[in-house]
Amino acid sequence: MRNRPADRLPPLDLLASFEAAARHLSFTRAATERFVTQSAMSRQIRALEEDLGVALFTRHHRSLVLTPDGQRLLQACTTALGTLRGAVREISEPRRREVLSLTTTPGFAALWLIPRLTGFTRAHPGIDVRLDATLDNRRLAAEGFDVAIRYAKVHPASGVALFSESMLPVCSPRLLSELDVPLRQPSDLARHTLLHMAMTDDHSGLPIEWEAWFSSWGLADLQPAARLSFTSYAEAITAAVAGQGVALGRRPLVDGLLESGQLVAPFEGQLASPRAYQLIIEPTARHRPAVRALEQWLLDEARRSRAADFLAESRPESLPVEAAPTAASTG
């Protein structure tokens, strides 16, 4: 028996070989696992027993049995080596990516969120975002969503308001240059095509999303030259950019297109909306750092959108809303 400090650990490779031999109760199978010969494995176990000064196995003709000291050492090795292997695996393997699920309306996704989303993914390369663009009101916990941005009437208990909304007609600048069809005042819309979402089968009156705006100008009976309806708000705005007619722009969703000059606002004045875009976090997901990072990024981007409200400084104050649209979610 060698004299050795009681707290000095044997070489790690000997402990790893012992753990394999004790787990298999076979020097042969342990040697195969450790990529050494059976005789080398036997020598390693002997060396460990000499180092510790105790027998770890009782050797029979065709079997091995752990001694009480061997059983105690196996329990310690299993725990310690398992911890070490797990740490090495986490360090050496690529970091596991985290997926966040966000649901919102198609209009908000296409016009506001997607153009900005690369800013979040670049700042957080380990986080993937799964975007669900739908008018359906998803059940967050039941359907596996972490975050929702919903377009709804303002209600303090329903979430954090990212920003409120105002509405104004928008069109391609090419439309304004058509001298034979002027567009200088709201009544001129009687000679133009209105673009809108298909929210009702009743084609006898104005499109529902335009009703409040026309009422605020005293033009509730105006009939446009034509109407084009689309299944989503983003499609209507795309048609406006293409010069196919006049859409009712929702700010801040169309702010980027106004700023770039792809759309213009032919008339002064905006109509304040009773609705807002509200941020909702699924309660059980809030503890996740990735969810908190997305939440903070959305709040920061919304704050920047409000700060860059370039039209608000150059236009008169918003007109009061006289009749709120009756549709639920139209983003």
Overall size of the chain counted in residues: 331
How does pLDDT run across 212-240, given as a tens digit for each residue? 888 888 888 888 989 998 988 899 999 99
Helices (H), 35-139: 38-52, 68-92, 106-108, 114-123
Cβ atoms of residues 97 and 128 within 8 Å: yes
Q: Is the peptide bond before 186 cis (omega within 30 degrees of 0)?
A: no
Contacts with 6 (C-beta within 8 Å, 6 or more apart), sequence order: none
pLDDT value at position 95?
59
In order of 178, 179, 190, 222, the CA distances from 182 in angstroms are: 7, 6, 10, 16
Alpha-carbon distance of 147 to 275, in angstroms, equals 19
pLDDT value at position 211?
84
- Please, what is the Cα angle at 24 between 23 and 27, to 5 degrees? 115
DSSP state for residue 9 in the 8-state scheme: P
Predicted TM-score (pTM) of this structure:
0.61
* 317, burial (CB in 10 Å: exposed 0-12, middle 13-18, buried 19+): exposed
Q: Which numeric CATH code is attached to 12-92? A: 1.10.10.10
Q: Domains of the chain: which residue ranges? A: 12-92, 99-314
Report, at the CATH architecture level, how domain 99-314 is classified. 3-Layer(aba) Sandwich (3.40)
Question: Is the pLDDT reported for residue 80 higher than 80?
Answer: yes
